[in-house]
């Protein structure tokens, strides 16, 4: 049962990676199709993460009454259909509606996927969360490759999107039959309103604040790479236009590799050590990028960034679920914490790109790279928030550091 649940959830992460990459990598084509002006485009781009944050907040309320698996089962098809709507429309109003639906559904989808990932990790009793995010990275690489093919062959957006939706949507629906809700037996429909002591009243924001900051800083770093790597390599380091497209691809591949191997690192060394190491490596990557004398050294810096940043977000979700389960053992406390934390995913995304752009224009782009470097280093200060409680494991054969993977007081 757990194996099928793990495989089906990994596919859900993969499908979401494909869909999101297909959207963000075809923004120039979307702008051309709908005739969106350069002045209006940032409004559309900012609206998606803002509405995703709203969707994540709403999902925290919804999972008090329905299982996260049900929320994920129906939000994923909505995301895929909204993506198709973006590609098939012909008026700006249609684009606005499709992006609004996409944003709201993505917020619910991201939150519910990570809720199930955290609960499955707790059921397994060992780190598996990075593997789910590795599946997302793999989907992102495939989606970006399909987007490149669509742009290369000058395909209409709907022609690029339709086959993907036709393949992924039924597969996601079939796979959703095996989603596993850990620790929620009997919770659904329990009449758990606020303050009733039912499903997932959750933990306070103050308890989650360190993890919220880590999530924000990680996504500031990630959005810096995704939005500025090409421009930085070309304008600052003097690379060709073709070479400037390489750093983000390298970043995506190293993110995949780091996440695919990261669970083994957590099991061997513990989450605190892995998070600290990832933060130091990522900060080193920004330092290399900021001081690079040329394009190839700059690409080395972006490679280090992928290896460092890739572990922070999955481990932050796992730590939030574990912390909530320890502080509040009621069913759904972990889900509520994950939904709250997920909002800061979008906060970091919204802050990162404008912050680096403003600093680059006012100061220098080399200097601007030092700001996310410092923010990522702050993660080292908060690394203890990723530490579990050794006494939650009863078996004497278990090493205490294995508690770092996210098992709470009601762990299996």
Global pTM?
A: 0.88
147-205 per-position pLDDT tens digit: 989 988 999 999 999 999 999 999 999 999 999 986 554 444 434 334 333 344 557 78
Domains of the chain: 1-178 (1.20.1250.20), 198-401 (1.20.1250.20)
* Distance from C-alpha of 344 to C-alpha of 292, rounded to nearest angstrom: 31
Compute the Cα dihedral for 299, 300, 303, 304 and give only its sign.
negative
Contact 121, 266 (CB under 8 A): no
The pLDDT assigned to 331 comes to: 65
374-398 per-position pLDDT tens digit: 999 999 999 999 986 543 333 333 3
The pLDDT assigned to 389 comes to: 53
Average of pLDDT values for 272-287?
97
Contact 36, 98 (CB under 8 A): no
What are φ and ψ of residue 14, in 5° steps? -60, -50
* Distance from C-alpha of 64 to C-alpha of 59, rounded to nearest angstrom: 9
Is the pLDDT at 142 greater than 50? The verdict is: yes
């Amino acid at each position: 049962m757990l194996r099928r649940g793990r495989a089906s959830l990994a596919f859900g992460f993969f499908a979401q990676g494909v869909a999101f990459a297909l959207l963000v990598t075809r923004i120039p084509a979307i702008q051309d199709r709908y005739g969106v002006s350069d002045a209006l485009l940032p409004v559309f781009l900012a609206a998606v993460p803002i509405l995703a944050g709203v969707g994540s907040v709403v999902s925290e309320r919804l999972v008090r009454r329905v299982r996260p698996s049900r929320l994920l089962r129906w939000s994923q098809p909505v995301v895929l259909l909204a993506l198709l709507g973006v590609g098939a429309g012909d008026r700006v109003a249609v684009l606005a509606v499709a992006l609004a639906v996409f944003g709201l559904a993505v917020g619910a989808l991201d939150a519910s996927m990570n809720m199930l990932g955290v609960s499955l990790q707790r059921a397994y009793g060992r780190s598996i969360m990075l593997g789910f995010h590795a599946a997302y990275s793999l989907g992102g690489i495939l989606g970006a490759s399909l987007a490149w093919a669509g742009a290369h062959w000058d395909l209409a957006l709907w022609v690029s999107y339709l086959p993907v939706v036709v393949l992924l949507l039924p597969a996601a629906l079939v796979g959703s039959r095996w989603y596993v809700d850990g620790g929620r037996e009997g919770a659904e429909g329990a009449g758990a309103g606020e303050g009733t002591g039912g499903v997932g009243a959750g933990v306070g924001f103050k308890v989650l604040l360190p993890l919220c900051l880590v999530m924000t800083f990680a996504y500031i770093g990630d959005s810096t790479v995704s939005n500025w790597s090409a421009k930085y390599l070309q304008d600052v380091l003097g690379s060709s236009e073709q070479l400037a497209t390489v750093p983000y691809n390298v970043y995506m591949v190293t993110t995949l590799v780091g996440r695919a191997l990261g669970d083994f690192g957590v099991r061997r060394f513990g989450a605190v050590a892995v998070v600290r190491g990832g933060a130091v490596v990522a900060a080193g990557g920004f330092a290399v990028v900021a001081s690079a004398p040329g394009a190839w050294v700059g690409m080395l810096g972006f490679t280090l960034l992928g290896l460092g940043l890739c572990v922070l977000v999955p481990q932050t979700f796992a730590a939030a679920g574990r912390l909530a389960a320890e502080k509040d053992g009621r069913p759904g406390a972990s889900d509520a914490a994950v939904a709250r934390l997920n909002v800061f995913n979008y906060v970091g995304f919204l802050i990162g790109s404008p912050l680096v752009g403003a600093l680059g224009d006012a100061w220098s782009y080399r200097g601007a790279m030092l700001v996310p470097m410092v923010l990522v280093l702050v993660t080292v200060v908060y690394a203890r928030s990723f530490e579990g409680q050794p006494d939650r494991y009863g078996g004497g054969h278990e090493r205490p550091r294995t508690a770092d993977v996210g098992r709470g007081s009601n762990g299996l």
